[in-house]
Structure 1
Amino acid sequence: MVVIVVIVLVMALGGTGENPRNPPSADVKITSCTVDATTRLPSAGLEIHNHSSKASTYGVTVEFKAPNGTRLSEGAALSLTVESGQRVKTSAVGKDQVTQKVTCKVTKVNRIAA
């Protein structure tokens, strides 16, 4: 529950890491997109590479869609104090169970300089 509160706080503070030459969205890529066979929760593996000049906190929102484009779930990831130039791996897990393959899309990235 604490993680959710922190994610909401980071998302609410968004915009402080915006730089049109180096947008936060360019720092995040999806490395995997799966549905866990046991829990049926979708998950997106993420890699964050801080291209900014300062250590930053990242809040990332991911949506999970069915092959026909229907949105099935969403999830979020939070990475604290990612140093300039550092790469970190994390994941965003959906909150709703699904019974089919999904596609994953990063819908929002907030980068807040420390």
Structure 2
Amino acid sequence: MNLALLVSVIALEQSCLSAAEHPRRDAAQALTSIEVEEVEEREVLQSIYEGDENFKELNPTTFQYRVGDIGHFKSFLLEIAWGDNYPTELPNINFDTFYINHM
């Protein structure tokens, strides 16, 4: 697995755990804080993977990374998506995304 990808996944999990340990005081403040954290998370991912043809942002909360070489039978897609309650809830990490690797 790509080292940068692994570091990103670990940082994402730590961010979620840290947020869950510190409950928000005010709902309006939490919404603003969550939005800021999502924007920062997106910017970090974009800066790490800028120019990497294996990385794809599907929408503001869903990202894919192709692991392995194009056309190799051991290559696969890793998809990470976060929901409305991110970062207080862990993102969905999907290894079952459809991927045709022999075209």
User: TM-score by structure 2 length?
Assistant: 0.28
> Comparing both structures, which one devotes a greater share of its residues to strand?
1
Q: Which structure has the greater CA radius of gyration?
A: 2
**Structure in which a larger fraction of residues adopt helix:** 2
